[in-house]
Amino acid sequence: MNRAISWMAAASGVSGLVFLYLALIWSPPEQQMGDLVRIMYFHVASAWTGLVAFFVTFLAALAVLLRNRPVWDVVSASSAEIGVVYTTLTLVSGSLWARPIWNTWWTWDPRLTTTLILWFLYVGYLLLRATLAGVERRARIAAAYAVVAFIDVPIIHLSVTWWRSIHPSVVDDTGFHMPMAMAGTLLFGFLAFFLWYLALLGLRVRGALQAMQLLQLGETIRRLHVRADLGTDRGR
């Protein structure tokens, strides 16, 4: 696992640097927004990575409910944490893009609002996990919550068609609405962010498994202490 994470980290680093070159230098400026359009590459790639992370959380949560294996709970929680990080970055970078384009840091647009709700839902998921006692009980309750919370993801996607929205929809069911150079940069950005996501997931899952190992060792030490105490009592 260590070697896979190292390779993934190296690939993430290289693809991240190439993506920076493509986004900041190679891709053309847009006619109306000029260089500001380059924010899109970071903003959209973060948003997609967050959504992928929540999709993995959803699948792992289903696996917890159907198979009841602890490793899926670890994957679900790890992916949700990464999803919250990327959704936070999406909201902040979106705000930095909205200020010069819409002349406001925030507006209660359907897509922005549903994304903020998504952020609250998964912060709630992480808080819920922190408050539940019992490994198996926590896994099952958190999994049920994660499955229900995922309903917001398709709502975010459809929000621009269901309600009146000023949020641009650069990618929809009909394809990319931008020149090839920009679409290529955006796709490469998503690939780079996806590699980062995989490396982070590997690192986070490994940490969680080590934490479980620590708990087991703690239990072993407690048992050995009890045995040592019994031995001392018999000796008296």
Partner 1 sequence: MSGMQHLGYLWAACTVVWGGTLVYVGYLVRHQRRLEAELDRLQALVQRLEETAPGSRGTGDPATD
Q: How far is the CB of 41 from partner 1 (least distance, A)?
A: 9
Q: How far apart are the first and last CA of the chain?
A: 49
Angle in degrees, CA 26, 27, 33, rounded to 5 = 135
Question: In the structure encoding, which two tokens stand for residue 133, read together?
Answer: 């006692």
Question: In the structure encoding, which two tokens stand for residue 59, read together?
Answer: 């699948």
Q: How far is the CB of 114 from partner 1 (least distance, A)?
A: 21
Compare residues 35 and 172 and give the one whose CB is closer to partner 1: 35
Q: Does 48 bind partner 1 (CB under 8 A)?
A: no
Q: Say which residues have a Cβ less than 8 Å from residue 139's Cβ, sequence separation at least 6.
A: 64, 68, 70, 73
Residue of 97, 125, 188, 190 interacting with partner 1 (CB under 8 A): 97
- Find the part of the chain contacting partner 1 (CB under 8 A) among 40-48, 113-121, 127-135, 154-162: 40-48
Residue of 8, 22, 27, 46 interacting with partner 1 (CB under 8 A): 46
DSSP 186-233: HHHHHHHHHHHHHHHHHHHHHHHHHHHHHHHHHHHHHHHHHHHHHHHH
CA distance 48 to 50: 5
Q: How far is the CB of 200 from partner 1 (least distance, A)?
A: 7
Question: In the structure encoding, which two tokens stand for residue 196, read together?
Answer: 């980062």
Site map for partner 1, 162-201, x if CB under 8 A?
A: ----------------------------------x---x-
CA distance 15 to 130: 34
Compare residues 98 and 149 and give the one whose CB is closer to partner 1: 98
Residues contacting partner 1: total by CB under 8 A: 44
CA distance 179 to 4: 36
Residue of 11, 18, 36, 170 interacting with partner 1 (CB under 8 A): 36
Site residues (vs partner 1, CB under 8 A):
16, 20, 23-24, 34-36, 38-39, 42-43, 46, 82, 85, 88-89, 92-93, 96-97, 99-100, 196, 200, 203-204, 206-207, 210-211, 213-214, 217-218, 220-221, 224-225, 227-228, 230-231, 234-235
